Amino acid sequence: MREPVTILGNYLSPYVRKVLVCLQLKGIDYRIDPFAPFIGDETFSRLSPLRRIPVLIDGDFVLNDSTVICEYLEDLQPTPALYPAAPRDRARARWLEEFADSRLGEVIVWRMFYQLGVKRYLFNETPDEEVVRKAREEELPEALDYLEAQLPAQGFLFGEVGAADIAIAAFFRNAAFVRYQIDAALWPRTAAFVERALALPAFRALAAFEEKTLRTPVAQQREVLIELGAPVTANTLGNIAPRRGIMKVE
Amino acid sequence: MREPVTILGNYLSPYVRKVLVCLQLKGIDYRIDPFAPFIGDETFSRLSPLRRIPVLIDGDFVLNDSTVICEYLEDLQPTPALYPAAPRDRARARWLEEFADSRLGEVIVWRMFYQLGVKRYLFNETPDEEVVRKAREEELPEALDYLEAQLPAQGFLFGEVGAADIAIAAFFRNAAFVRYQIDAALWPRTAAFVERALALPAFRALAAFEEKTLRTPVAQQREVLIELGAPVTANTLGNIAPRRGIMKVE
């Protein structure tokens, strides 16, 4: 039996969520260090040069970037496959994962969740309403138009659920955290697809931890998650004072 | 024999350069449509939803994102391998490619090349000197410190040259376009590594086309590159009027 891997991350990050769902689907045992985004010191920079989460720690091996981590998990344990085998399908899966991580990241994480969640509740600052309005009314609809043309009417993109499906669905959890729901009248495939993906046990297993994290101040999250039965590891980075950093959540 | 693939891109983009070098090393025949970055209409948006270059067109298959394209080329034609085989090495190679595309992209492309090259010469606007100063004096040195600890004293990262080496070196061509040279006294490994990589025939074959593109107005680039013997294809997108768009170069 291999030792569990450690994920340095936070249940509210869609990039962390993508990796946790992949770990779950592959049956790879893990512990999470529920590291609060936007907070960290130089110890964290050494583990994550771009100050992003998640970080995977597998023994003495430290790896960054959610996409690179998912590809590593696929190489480490090829079944169940989370990327299709045929080169064109595989490329399209990687592209859609990139589209989600990049474009849905910009719009949902940075212009909606950050403004309405992180900025308001973690930093006690006023959201920029124009940034939020443009994201909701212009940028996200444009991304949804694109997804609507890509996603299948039933099932998942390439048969069984894979990394591209997981990446796309993961972002709409963050949209839901700030009360955005996809309008099924306008984007019926996307709305049904996201609902189908988020109903998978691997996503549902995380929901209670996400909701608890949302409602708990950063300093108490670790303790509260342990009480709730989350697979929380000892504090990887030691006690660090919260500070506003340049951290990105990817 | 397979038909040549088409690359929609520009010789000045480091992301295009990475793909062209990979094509060259794999011996895959290609034509380039020397599409000027920052310019394009809705036809381009249909081929590239994020309005980025390069785009690969392989028959009826259209693919975006330089990293996804390089992985596709690797799947299509596994030899010579441009990613190492062992999972941890492979993951580290992907991470270093991502570090280059992400961080060197932000600093070298957006804060140096864009300011001092594109903005000044394509848009006739004044560069933001503070952005450039910070990039040269703070951000790039920090990235170079990281690379210096990662790169080998001799040869390439994982034996033969691979996608990670190519990605890193490709950005320093853009640094050179705006007269930035790595200080070998401060970063001896990185300086020697980049020089070694850029001396490879696959990089050198592109240098004349890059230099000609730099010195030629956008409207004449296609014609001038054809005269110089570049493998230029017919205009994929038809004649489109230059406009300032939201395009990103990745």
- Give the closest residue to B91 by CA, choosing from A57, A29, A151, A209: A57
Chain A residue with Cα closest to B95:
A68
Q: Where do the structural domains in chain A lie, given as residue ranges?
A: 5-80+208-227, 87-201
3.40.50.2300, 3.30.1330.30, 3.30.9.100, 3.40.30.10: CATH of B5-81+206-227? 3.40.30.10
Residue with tokens 């189908």: A196
Q: Which CATH architecture has domain A87-201?
A: Up-down Bundle (1.20)
Average pLDDT over residues B186-208: 98
Q: Please answer whether residues A8 and A52 qualify as being in contact, where contact means their C-beta atoms are separated by less than 8 angstroms.
A: no
- pTM for the model stands at 0.93
Compute chain B's Rg from CA coordinates.
17
Percent of chain B with pLDDT over 70: 92
Q: What is the pLDDT of residue B35?
A: 80
Residue with tokens 């980025």: B52
- Quick check: B92 and A50 CB within 8 A? no
Q: Using a CB cutoff of 8 Å and minimum separation of 24, what contacts does A47-51 make?
A: A47/A8, A47/A236, A47/A237, A48/A8, A49/B99, A49/B103, A49/B146, A50/A248, A50/A250, A50/B99, A50/B102, A50/B103, A51/A245, A51/A246, A51/A247, A51/A248
Cα–Cα distance, A86 to B145 (Å, whole number) = 39
Which residue in A52, A56, A94 has the most chain B C-beta atoms within 10 A of its own C-beta, making it the best mutation to test that interface? A94
Which structure tokens are listed for B176? Answer: 């050179």
Q: What element of type H or E holds A43?
A: helix A42-47
- Give the closest residue to A41 by CA, choosing from A51, A31, A33: A51
User: Which range, of A24-28, A114-118, A190-194, B148-152, averages the lowest pLDDT?
Assistant: A114-118
Chain B residue with Cα closest to A66:
B95
Task: Mention every residue, 6+ apart, whose C-beta is less than 8 A from residue B87.
Answer: A72, A75, A76
Q: Fill in the amino acid letter for A83.
A: Y
Task: Mention every residue, 6+ apart, whose C-beta is less than 8 A from residue A85.
Answer: none
- The interface predicted TM-score of the complex, written ipTM, equals 0.93
- Quick check: B87 and A75 CB within 8 A? yes
Left if phi > 0, otherwise alpha if psi is -120 to 50, otherwise beta: which for A51? Answer: left
CA atoms within 13 Å, Cβ hemisphere of B187: 20
Which structure tokens are listed for A67? Answer: 């996409």
pLDDT in tens, A160-214: 999 999 999 999 999 999 999 999 999 999 999 999 999 999 999 999 999 999 9
Contact residues, chain A, for B65 at CB < 8 Å: 94-95, 98
Q: Considering only residues 48 to 77 of chain A, which have any Cβ-Cβ distance to chain B shorter than 8 Å?
A: 49-50, 61, 63-65, 67-69, 71-72, 75-76
Tell me the shortest Cα–Cα distance from A92 to chain B, in angstroms: 7
Nearest to A71 among B49, B94, B146 (CB): B94
A5-80+208-227 maps to CATH 3.90.1150.10: no
Q: Kindly list the strands in the beta sheet with A30-34, ordered across the sheet, starting from the edge strand earlier in the chain.
A: A30-34, A5-9, A55-58, A61-64
Nearest to A72 among B50, B68, B91 (CB): B91
Q: Considering only residues 98 to 127 of chain A, which have any Cβ-Cβ distance to chain B shorter than 8 Å?
A: 98-99, 102-103
Chain B residue with Cα closest to A49:
B146
Note whether B5-81+206-227 and B87-201 share their fold. Answer: no
Cα–Cα distance, B7 to B22 (Å, whole number) = 12
Q: Please answer whether residues A74 and A85 qualify as being in contact, where contact means their C-beta atoms are separated by less than 8 angstroms.
A: no
Residue B30 has pLDDT above 50, yes or no: yes
Residue A249 has pLDDT above 70, yes or no: no
Q: What is the pLDDT of residue B248?
A: 41
Distances (CA, A) of B124 to A180, B62, B115, B118: 41, 33, 11, 8
Nearest to B76 among A65, A75, A87 (CB): A87
- Quick check: B146 and A49 CB within 8 A? yes
Nearest to B72 among A67, A87, A98 (CB): A87
Percent of chain A with pLDDT over 70: 92
Please give the mean pLDDT across all residues of chain A.
Answer: 91
Which structure tokens are listed for B234? Answer: 């017919």
